[in-house]
Structure 1
Amino acid sequence: MATRGGGVYFPVDAGFCDTQAARQVTRRYGAEGFLAYVRLLCMLLREDGGRLSVGLDEDWEDVADQLGMDEDAARELVAVLAHYGAVVLEDGALWSQLVTESIAARKEITEKRRQAAAARWAKAKKKEEETEK
């Protein structure tokens, strides 16, 4: 799993490399292309809501720079990934269901932990009040 300071992550199981998208990227771009794919997913994790703006040429220049590719290669890589369902490109935004689901799961876990901590605090406070009586 890829993590960032205990934050959100996307699951990388044994089958991740065997998806059609990963195979096609590796076949077309080699190991560097696969690395660019993983970098793209990590970029999405760092963005609010897991979405990258790609509506402007400057956005694509930034994405290409982060992926270590020229702009045309980055656009082509994203098109391949979109064709195989690994990413979605719509309305000037780029996102991945894998990343979106991971962000949602992390939020759910965080909320459950917050609720559990609040319940423990309330229980401890109640016990303390009963002890003081």
Structure 2
Amino acid sequence: MTSEEALQKFGLPAAPEDRDEIRRLLALEIERERQGESGEEMLRTLCLQLFSLGYPEDALLIWEAKQSSFNAGYGLDIQFVCGAGLTVTKDYLSQSSVLESSAILQYLAACDQAGDFAKWTPQVTIEHYRSYYGL
């Protein structure tokens, strides 16, 4: 599947009923990225579609995608981790027992302090990428 096909199939924002399939495809794409076989655009598209659903627990999988390679680390927006919004995501992560949660919280705090979330909302990101993809 290509990025364009994913956009056609799942849309932006994606539909909640497609969440499990998007998560499954993203997990496969993360493995491909770790092996140096992925295309960054597909990784970005799937992260964006999952982000668009707004589930705070998806922050962990999106973070995993961001950490899957050097290029993904810089190429995937940190805002993708916060589909439920910055405050809700931070609240979820602060209560999570997953080891990576504290690292994500520290990274988010640094990005927030640097102004990466100034005047930001999930809808701003969705609209930006709808324009980017010509939707």
> RCO higher in 1 or 2 (8 Å CA, sep ≥ 6)?
1
**TM-score (norm. length: structure 1):** 0.30
**Larger Rg computed on CA atoms:** 1
**Structure 1 or 2: more strand by fraction:** 1
